[in-house]
Structure 1
């Protein structure tokens, strides 16, 4: 898929990040496990605009950019976007998403020199458990709403079926 404009007319082009802590500069074509934003949008069923917004608010930063400034994403970046996509219909805010991602990022650092100590690990697991509880509660609320909506649709359908006169 070719990079360029989305339906709103925005382009993916941005100035490459040249800071040492920013994304790596890459050749003009995706490679080495990197994909362009258009492919990410197709895989995640998120719009280009949404993916860019998540970058702007710091939820998912592309792992690299081409020399031309196009965003490049890895499988881990895509997995992060999928987690966000799954949280959205449950009504989690961007701040809540950020909190969960920070906790899971720290937990994923378990085999690194910067691994959380026992107390931090327990706190992080409690954060994830709280999110699980909230997600399960919200799923149940959505199921109840869907059941009521189904009842409503069935009631309308019953009104449309002709009843023989009297």
Structure 2
């Protein structure tokens, strides 16, 4: 969204006041179709063996070994109105799975900050991206997951756009 705001003169998703006259570069070109950003510092890497391939070759992503849980989004409510979406409910289910120690690995998608970012409502994105409450699982989805991993002496890998 920000790359579009910086590169497209007719961008209208939020008020920029004026079209910025800047020259910038992204770390990587993240959108090959739209060629965004148009200037980037590093060419996208050739990835020979993804983490997904590694996991498949080691028995993960096997229907016999996994459990898929979906927490549906609320219909009819936009992300700018409810920026937390169902993140606390998603995190609670994941936290319970961590504490049960039923699985060796969990993949959890907390989509709220990403989805809110796509709306262009930057104030809501900043509000959603903050992690109030530290490790308090009742307030912070990520904090609850981190707390559960600490309790089971586990490890966690977090990535975010």
TM class by smaller structure: under 0.3
TM-score, L = length of structure 2: 0.25
Which is strand-richer, 1 or 2? 1
User: Normalized against structure 1, the TM-score is what?
Assistant: 0.25
The structure carrying a bigger helix percent of its residues is 1
